Chains A and B, each alone.
Chain A
Amino acid sequence: MAEKFYCMPYTTLFPGQEPNEKIIMVLRRHWWILFRIIFLYVVLALFMPVLRWLANEYTNLFDGGTLTVILNLITSLYYFYIITFFFHAWIDYYLDIWIITSERIVDIEQRGLFSRHISTQRLYRIQDVYSEVQGFLPTFFHFGDVHVQTAGQNPRFVFKQIPNSYEVTKKIIALVRWKKQKMMKQGINFDHTENE
């Protein structure tokens, strides 16, 4: 029955996935967030050619001597770091991921290079879901936060800046309802499974 919720082609995707767990949705931040990162680094990448052009026009720093080669090396270092920091920003974007499965929601957040936060919550523990779209660009591009209130130790999950937040909210609500009905049919009491 969980098939009716499927929208992902994956069968196995993340570490710790349980054998019978089906992936329903994989969510990342909206492409606008990625676009902002790319735009910033494109500007930074263009900064050096402009600077060199100005130096060529108004100084004799690039007359072909040792100083020129050293300046070229500094330029190469600049680009090494631009690429590395861009890749780091990409990792920060790409590894922040929210997964909704047929059994639970998984919140994986990369916080810098050395901090990674993973929390999960069973679907039947979800008590309330709502979305929040604030500002001109989120309204225009249809992205926002989805807040998931649960009864567990980590009571609130926030899916940040995800696309189509209203549709995601509706889907989670439908999935939670389906899961609870399924458990009720099987005679499983939510209260007895609270401490799982």
Chain B
Amino acid sequence: MLSLNILLIIYLAVVLLFLIFTFFNLYHMWRFGVLEETNFIMIFLYIASLLVLAFFSVLYILKIDWSGFLF
């Protein structure tokens, strides 16, 4: 039987990896991007789209009883 907890841990590990990527992406844009509006707009769009996705992901996470089993 596969515990759903394990799936949650795997999910969070993948999210952690994603957060590391995101950190470096944003760092590069902030540190090396030239002083243009495009730079700030892209950073804003990136963060905004990630927040929207994160919102829906949290909704999905809350729907599951993670103490159960998948199979």
Contacts and interface: CB of A to CB of B under 8 A. Distances in A.
A84 B18 contact: yes
Given A66-B4, A70-B64, A73-B57, A14 B34 contact: yes
A83 interface: yes
Contacts of B21: 84, 88, 113
Interface stretch (A74-82, A133-141, A147-155): A74-82
A69 interface: yes
Interface residues of B, number: 32
A99 B40 CA distance: 20
A97 B25 contact: no
Interface residues of A, number: 30
Contact of B29 (A12, A76, A91): A91
B25 A69 contact: no
Given A79-B53, A95-B28, A113-B28, A87 B35 contact: no
A91 B4 CA distance: 37
A69 B58 CA distance: 11
Given A66-B68, A94-B42, A95-B33, A73 B61 contact: yes
